[in-house]
Amino acid sequence: MASVYIPVQNSEEEVRVALDQLPKDASDILDILKAEQAPLDLWLIIAREYFKQGKLEQFRQILEEGSSPEIDEYYADVRYERIAILNALGAYYSYLGKIETKQREKEEHFILATQYYNKASRIDMHEPSTWVGKGQLLLAKGEVEQASAAFKIVLDGDRDNVPALLGQACVEFNRVRYSDSLELYKRVLKVYPNCPAAVRLGIGLCRYKLGQFEKARQAFQRVLQLDPENVEALVAQAIMDLNTHEATGIRKGMEKMQKAFEIYPYCAMALNYLANHFFFTGQHFVVEQLTETALAVSNHGPTKSHSYYNLARSYHSKGDYEKAGLYYMASVKEVNKPNEFVFPYYGLGQVQLKLGDFKSALANFEKVLEVNPDNSETLKVLGHIYVQLGQTEKAQEFMRKATKIDPRDAQAFLDLGELLISSDPVAALESLKTARTLLKKGGQETPIEVLNNLGVLHFERGEFELAQQTFREALGDGIWLAFIDGKENPPPVDASASNLQYKDLHLFQHLEKEGRVVDLPWNKVTTLFNMARLLEQLHNTETASILYRLILFKYPDYIDAYLRLAAIAKARNNLQLSIELVNDAMKVNQKCPKALSMLGDLELKNDDWVKAKETLRAASEATEGKDSYDTLSLGNWNYFAAVRNEKRNPKLEATHLEKAKELYTKVLAQHSANLYAANGAGVVFAEKGHFDVSKDIFTQVQEAASGSIFVQMPDVWINLAHVYFAQGNFALAVKMYQNCLRKFFYNTDSQILLYLARTNYEAEQWQDCKKTLLRAIHLAPSNYALRFDAGVVMQKFSALTLQKEKRTADEVRLTVSELGNAVRVFKQLSASAASNLHFYGFDEKKIDTHVEYCKHLLEAARVHLKNAEHEEQKNRHKQEALRQMALAEEARRKAEEQRKFQLERRVREDELKQVRQQEEHFERIKEQWKSSTSGSKRRDRSEIDDEEGGNSEKRRRKGGKRRKKDKHSRSRYEAEDVEAEMMDDQEELEDENAKMNYGEPAAQINDQDDYAAEENARDPLAAAGLEDSGAEDEVAPESAANRRSRAWSESDDDEQLDRQPEPGEIRENYADMPGSDRVKLDEEGAINDDD
């Protein structure tokens, strides 16, 4: 048992004090210490023992007494112990300030600690322990840089000072310089290997921050080996086990957390992790107890933030949003920046979103997004918030970003698709398809809502088959499939009971009696309604009505089903049944705006003007004037009141039109894209005669209505055609009526056909008008007005035809036929509808007048027909004669062309024949020239041999003879005569060709042939060296006549020149010819040659 001994003053005795039996009142010990003037180190030992026992007040009392002025004065020579006491007090108050939660008390403790350290510095300003204490105080105050300066003062004097090294390591850790902090901790271990286990705890934390988890775990394990009850090491290891996110690791982590809690129940971090564990197990009471304890024992901001967050989550999960919001806010206040702990911002945003505070929620989620910009959940939440704030484009931007960050997030694509349905149906369809594919790949079932939306989008795009497939997939199996596939047909209905078939539910009761399951889950009602709506669009109204009745059989309060059945009855012109069905809907809700509006419209069509006005006003009051449809219906009422068929009052008509215009304008001011209001405004302008304005309005409405399958507005097409008709543009009016018939009514609306016939009538297109009326009569055979109109058209056509100055027999025949038909039509009207003529608005006398007029025209037409036929016969004979003359002329022309062709062919044949003859003649001349040239060469050689004297004897011995000069000259002139004759023949041929208009091409051919012949004739002369090369060079190519004249004029003069070259030159030329014998010329220049 440890004890201290206090020496008795002026004696050798000592007072023994057992440290484990220190008195509760420190005054007794202080009296002994003062009385005996005990050394100050004993004061420190006893104070430290009180501190270890948790008796902080006694600890403080002893140290404060030990640092009093009296003690300082008495122990003035003792410096170290006095400094140690002051530093201990400074450290104590630094600790109190660090753990204090109240800011005022915290500052007071830090001030006292600063005073004690300054007092110690005044004793010895170089004392290292004082500077270390100051550094710890500055760290507690958060002044990291000043703390680092204090520690460096110590380390500059002693680089191995362990407390300073530990303090500097803490500084570097707070600076997020984990590598530097780790090196300092390692240095401490080298300097002081037996340091406390907590030093290795710092090493483990640095390793953990550096991502060296295995080495960190080893460091924490070493701490536990040295100190098995080290709570911080246990908590650190538990956190590492929990972060493995594996069942085994989580179990081990919670066991260590529990052990740390058992060792020290006031460890805030352990309490927070335990609270987090019990939150997921649903033990909210335990969560609240643990977090409240953690908040009581901790003053560390981030730790308290975690505690508040756990407490807020507990209340959030229980639905107490107000308390949850308060604790989330407290958690947020404990952190300086969102990146330190971002979860409370997310939770606070969720609570604010639940409470409807969208702007505050937006601010908190944006802070979360700053920390985690790629968090898809935050992006989706922000998208929903912007939708609530009306910023649709920004919402779409966030949703698209969420889908790009996580392309496998089906929910993100679902949210984006639902967001795009109203603005971009095509993109919405693609997003929903992608979500459906992702759900299928993930093995999840596609929600019915998603399939329903997909079907609606296909429906809007006119892809009815795909819409039907999607609706069937959403509905699954059920009794409805039997009706859709036609396997279950309703029993036949009598004609007397046909009006009640849309209200009959006995079919389903009968099926239940047969044991069939007639069930309709609530989540499939909307999809079944859409399927019925699709069948209605596909003109399968019988099956659609059965599905509507099935909905009413299971859910009698489904008002939309009543209204659709009423719409089907209205389309079949059964207004009474439609009104009854709307009244059935109003029994469910008397103030249903849709039912009231539809009832007012039906009453308006039923010419019940007073009731219609009251009903439409009631509909407008039911929506407090916010429903534009009711305002639009009142505008329609005023318009019809202005233009109805009764006797018009101009003043009242103008009032109603102005009121209608006012109501239409009001609707457009609320909803500028309301096509029906715009159409109504255009009608009012047209009624007032402003056709250009109304045409522009109708054109814009038509373009806007063409983009949606749900907007069926044939009225705007009809109105636009009416405007064209009023402006006299009949062609465009006809085209517009025809397009409307084809697009909306499948060419089966008799009223529009009547409009079209009227347009043809005004355009004087009588046959088109009659055909159109016949089509209308075929569609509405009981409409006698159409028959009367057809008779009038035929009468008008006949009258105008007979008034023409020039008319053909066919026109008169057609007139006779049309008049006969008109007479029959008028007589039929007079006979079959005699009792109902006034009902249809006919006057019997007027019909008789038409009959008499048509008969009169018919008699006149027959006279005109005879004259026309006679004239036609005459014209026919005249045309036949003209035709015969034309045929004869054509035959003569063809014969002339054949004769010219034969003549031209003979000319070409003669020309070719002459060319061939010239070629043959030319070949003969060439042969003659060749033979004459070879003989001259032999004579030249014999002359040369005689002059040289060597070879002549040899030739005479061989028996050769000399040719006389006159013989040679004669043969030469004969050759020239032959050439001249050839040229004359060719000139005659050219003249003949010129006479036959083939001069130029033939002359070119002959010139070329002559030139070629002359060149070929000269080639042998050139080879013999007898051609005048100078003349060749100076004379350009000449025509055949020039060459002929030159041949005659130069034959005598140039002959001597050609045969008197210089002897040396000739010898030179022949000397240059290899393989040739030398010849000599006699005095006269004659060439000697052997025969």
* DSSP string of 842-901, one letter each residue: --HHHHHHHHHHHHHHHHHHHHHHHHHHHHHHHHHHHHHHHHHHHHHHHHHHHHHHHHHH
Is the pLDDT reported for residue 602 higher than 60?
yes
Is the pLDDT reported for residue 475 higher than 90?
yes
Average pLDDT over residues 880-903: 91
Query: CB pairs under 8 A, 24+ apart, for 799-807?
Result: 799/857, 800/764, 800/766, 802/857, 802/860, 802/861, 802/864, 807/864, 807/868
Largest Cα separation within the chain, whole Å, is 193
Average pLDDT over residues 864-878: 80
What pLDDT, in 10s, does the model give residues 250-279? 899 889 998 998 998 888 888 998 998 889
Is the pLDDT reported for residue 1085 higher than 60?
no
Is the pLDDT reported for residue 525 higher than 90?
yes
Q: Are 436 and 469 in contact (CB under 8 A)?
A: no
CA–chain centroid gap for 637, Å, is 44
Average pLDDT over residues 867-888: 85
Is the pLDDT reported for residue 585 higher than 50?
yes
Report which of 227, 257, 221 is spatially closest to residue 239, judged by C-alpha positions. Answer: 257
Overall pTM > 0.85:
no
Measured from the Cβ of residue 966, the count of other Cβ atoms closer than 10 Å reads 8
**Average pLDDT over the chain, rounded to whole?**
81
Is the pLDDT reported for residue 744 higher than 80?
yes
Is the pLDDT reported for residue 663 higher than 50?
yes
C-alpha–C-alpha distance, residues 601 and 593, integer Å: 12
Q: Which residues of 1064-1085 are buried (b: 16+ CB within 10 A; e: fewer)?
A: eebbeebeeeeeeebbbbeeee
Average pLDDT over residues 239-249: 87
What pLDDT, in 10s, does the model give residues 173-223? 988 899 999 999 999 999 988 888 888 899 999 999 999 999 999 999 999
Average pLDDT over residues 371-390: 90
Average pLDDT over residues 807-820: 84
In the chain, the amino acid numbered 497 is A
In this structure, what are the phi and psi dihedrals at residue 673, rounded to the nearest 5 degrees?
-100, 15
Q: Are 87 and 120 in contact (CB under 8 A)?
A: yes
Give the per-residue pLDDT at 491.
Answer: 60
Rounded to the nearest 10°, the torsion over CA 683, 684, 685, 689 is 100
DSSP letter assigned to residue 445: P
Report which of 70, 78, 69, 84 is spatially closest to residue 39, judged by C-alpha positions. Answer: 78
What pLDDT, in 10s, does the model give residues 1010-1032? 444 444 444 433 333 334 444 33
Q: Give the residue with greater pLDDT, 4 vs 346.
A: 346
CA–chain centroid gap for 1047, Å, is 94
Band of pLDDT at residue 838, cut at 50, 70 and 90: low
Band of pLDDT at residue 616, cut at 50, 70 and 90: confident
Angle of CA points 633, 661, 697, to nearest 5°: 95
Average pLDDT over residues 445-464: 92
Is the pLDDT reported for residue 644 higher than 60?
yes
Q: Give the residue with greater pLDDT, 4 vs 202.
A: 202
Cβ-in-10-Å burial (0-12, 13-18, 19+) of 563 comes to buried
Measured from the Cβ of residue 347, the count of other Cβ atoms closer than 10 Å reads 21
Which of 236-245, 697-706, 954-963 is the least confident region?
A: 954-963
C-alpha–C-alpha distance, residues 412 and 406, integer Å: 8
Average pLDDT over residues 1032-1055: 40
**What token pair was written down for 166?**
């530990």
Average pLDDT over residues 341-358: 92
Q: Give the residue with greater pLDDT, 487 vs 402.
A: 402
Q: Give the residue with greater pLDDT, 625 vs 182.
A: 182
**What token pair was written down for 715?**
């009225």
C-alpha–C-alpha distance, residues 366 and 14, integer Å: 73
Q: Are 528 and 560 in contact (CB under 8 A)?
A: no
Band of pLDDT at residue 1079, cut at 50, 70 and 90: very low
Query: CB pairs under 8 A, 24+ apart, for 712-721?
Result: 712/744, 713/675, 713/676, 713/679, 714/740, 714/743, 714/744, 714/745, 715/679, 716/675, 716/679, 716/682, 717/743, 717/744, 718/752, 718/755, 719/679, 719/682, 719/683, 719/686, 719/694, 720/695, 721/755, 721/759
C-alpha–C-alpha distance, residues 63 and 940, integer Å: 162
3-state percent breakdown (helix, strand, coil) of the chain, nearest 5 = 75, 0, 25
C-alpha–C-alpha distance, residues 8 and 14, integer Å: 5
Give the per-residue pLDDT at 886.
Answer: 92
Q: Are 756 and 738 in contact (CB under 8 A)?
A: yes
Is the pLDDT reported for residue 123 higher than 70?
yes
DSSP 772-791: HHHHHHHH-TT-HHHHHHHH
In order of 98, 279, 280, 911, the CA distances from 294 in angstroms are 16, 15, 18, 131
- Region for 245 from its dihedrals, namely left if φ exceeds 0, alpha if ψ lies in -120 to 50, beta otherwise: left
Is the pLDDT reported for residue 875 higher than 80?
yes
Q: Are 437 and 421 in contact (CB under 8 A)?
A: no
169-178, 496-505, 631-640, 966-975: which has the highest mean pLDDT? 169-178
Is the pLDDT reported for residue 454 higher than 50?
yes
Give the per-residue pLDDT at 941.
Answer: 52
C-alpha–C-alpha distance, residues 3 and 22, integer Å: 10
Q: Are 856 and 818 in contact (CB under 8 A)?
A: no
**What token pair was written down for 154?**
């110590």
The β-bridge relationship of strands 14-18 and 3-7 is antiparallel
